[in-house]
Structure 1
């Protein structure tokens, strides 16, 4: 009988070996240096001379997240899968985004019948587990995703209905969503602008902020990191900024490649987007992606060689993004075959077995990019310092433990644990 776990472990070992060989050839050091520069800072502990210091990372500041499927909030997932889904989410991710729950067409299929149940269920769970949640999305003007009843409205009725949704959603969920995708995928289609004119997105933003003045509004679009629509996106961002649209950040989807991706184009695209000085999130990541055979045929299974290669692709993609100073997070668009639009891109099989990509991802995020150190303060100054990834830490000195935040915006963090 074939031992699936043994095969998975062997494949994972091969992935690590290949990655090590690449590093030995000198292709990784620039990325490693950039990661050290942009994702680490000095963690300085002051204590009594000779004290033992234990530094244990609890979580990353950088968002390593995933989309949350409707089933978690709606109650339409089996209890066994729901338990597994929640457990594996918490094991792998520190942030989240609603996959479909907040979309207008999902919430209000029929005029006036607004379903908040799924959104509330997801929010309640993420809040219970201290997981920041993105709201995807408030509006989506790709015509095939616009409800028929909206198209039947007059222009005046349409604008009033948009205003009502913007204000009511922002007001109802004030302070609960960390950020929103305002008007999704506008360079690919914008029904609302076609109907109501080029200033409708600015009006949407104004109305959302009327409902929640602290709301953070992101753009979000696809085929940007491939370079194919980068120029269009840059032009649109400039135009919206010229209109004084309060853009808080730039969202770029990470699944328009095939079974591999162009490393240089990803880096070039991120560099180009960084010119605006806004945070960048990779909002929807899959590997393999939308241009792969695995999206064309979702029943197609990967060969062992393809599983191994996909793990390498994931590691490289995440490494390039993590090394870039403007990027503040990456969110997978599905991690379990049971609810993933590209099942082959999942970390876990339908029966919750980890794939090689899961092992590679976990080693990267919770081993390679993780800080756990033990040392002793100097006998003269009573100080211990370590280069540490930004995030939340447990610091133990002399049997006393403190939880602290080590933030990128501060660079260095100093904790005084000395006793009189």
Structure 2
């Protein structure tokens, strides 16, 4: 593959490259550089200081099944689903609820109930939500009634959906996937011409001027369709399409993945200076035997491999400065298109991958520290970007440390 040849010669700008250190050390150094800032606390000598991270800035998220919004999930499972989600994830994406074919399988019969149910729950719990997706031009996913429309009717109907959905949910979705998987098929472009995506974007922004519109496609991070995607992005940018970010699906590998391909693909996508979201992650993925036969059970060795591969994938993505999040495409065997890729079994037992995931996110990449103030009354702690509670002798402040504000300084009232 071309990307493999290039990767032998190109040194990624975001990685340190001394050959004496391991790849893991290199990634850890990049994480320290790109995912951490500092919190400085001023307090009197002898004051007891506790710094506690509450959440990450980086999106560690998952898809939300329709059952949560519609209420059609078993009540016991629904209660557990919500609790386990909140224990593990800080962001979300609609799995199917917003898709046009799901919302309006019959012309004029639009189901907003499931979307509303998901939004109400995520908003109540402070979970930012991606809207997946407004349009999906793979022909087999286009409703029969849509195909029966004349070209004029089709364009008018697309315009109506774009404006009406954006207006109805204005300010409630953090971002949208505009027109899904266009390099693999685009029924709307085939019917209406190459400017239809730009029109879709324009109409969405009529309904919600602040909407963030993402692209989303697959087989990119393997390198197989990377070149096509880069060309596609350039073409849309040249048309003036207001792209807010790049979505790259993370489930086209097998039970393992090629590290070099993932790193090179992320570097290549970063050339546009746009945020990158890993939108649909499964391990094992769509090219594994577990996708072909969803009833297969893993051996203990395969369970261990799954945990190892998941950690390696997350580490590479978290180390890259252009990546803003990873969203699993299912976390529970009871609602996951690749059941073997779930963190939790059907009866809610955590698998080895769940334990590895939690250790990575809430231990290795988590900041919590105590300190007794000495002379000078100042202490600085390196901290992962996120929300913090800082307590000095029982007095607490909640603060946000992020990429835009890499350093913050707190002075407590006891100094006055």
Quickly name the TM-score band, shorter chain normalised.
Answer: over 0.9
Cα offset for 1:25? 8.1
Cα offset for 1:27? 3.3
Among 309, 331, 340, the alignment partner of 1:344 is 340
Among 362, 381, 388, the alignment partner of 2:383 is 388
Q: 2:12 maps to what in 1? A: none
Task: Give the Cα–Cα distance (whole angstroms) in 2 for the partners of residues 367 and 337 of structure 1.
Answer: 25
Among 206, 220, 223, the alignment partner of 1:224 is 220
Q: Could you tell me which runs of 5 or more consecutive residues in structure 2 were left unpaired when the two chains were aligned.
A: 1-19
Task: String of CA shifts for 1:295-340, please: whole Å, max 9, x gaps.
Answer: 0001111111100000000000000000000000000000000010
Task: String of CA shifts for 1:138-161, please: whole Å, max 9, x gaps.
Answer: 000000000000000000100000
Q: 2:176 maps to what in 1? A: 180
Q: 1:160 maps to what in 2? A: 156
Task: String of CA shifts for 1:83-110, please: whole Å, max 9, x gaps.
Answer: 1100100000000000000000000000
Q: 1:91 maps to what in 2? A: 87
Instruction: Give the 5 Å matches for 1:15-414.
Output: 26-380=22-376, 382-414=377-409
Secondary structure of the corresponding residue to residue 63 of structure 2: strand
Task: Give the Cα–Cα distance (whole angstroms) in 1 for the partners of residues 198 and 44 of structure 2.
Answer: 56
Aligned residues: 396
Secondary structure of the corresponding residue to residue 187 of structure 1: helix
Cα offset for 1:232? 0.4
Task: Give the Cα–Cα distance (whole angstroms) in 2 for the partners of residues 203 and 187 of structure 1.
Answer: 18
Task: String of CA shifts for 1:386-410, please: whole Å, max 9, x gaps.
Answer: 0000001010012101111111122
Secondary structure of the corresponding residue to residue 263 of structure 2: helix
Task: Give the Cα–Cα distance (whole angstroms) in 2 for the partners of residues 117 and 233 of structure 1.
Answer: 34
Task: Give the Cα–Cα distance (whole angstroms) in 2 for the partners of residues 52 and 349 of structure 1.
Answer: 42
Secondary structure of the corresponding residue to residue 50 of structure 1: coil
Task: Give the Cα–Cα distance (whole angstroms) in 1 for the partners of residues 24 and 390 of structure 2.
Answer: 31
Cα offset for 1:375? 1.0
Q: Could you tell me which runs of 5 or more consecutive residues in structure 1 were left unpaired when the two chains were aligned.
A: 1-23
TM-score by length of 2: 0.94
Q: Is the 8 A contact 1:391 1:405 kept in 2?
A: yes
Secondary structure of the corresponding residue to residue 266 of structure 1: helix
Task: Give the Cα–Cα distance (whole angstroms) in 2 for the partners of residues 58 and 275 of structure 1.
Answer: 32
Q: CA RMSD in A?
A: 1.0
Secondary structure of the corresponding residue to residue 28 of structure 1: helix
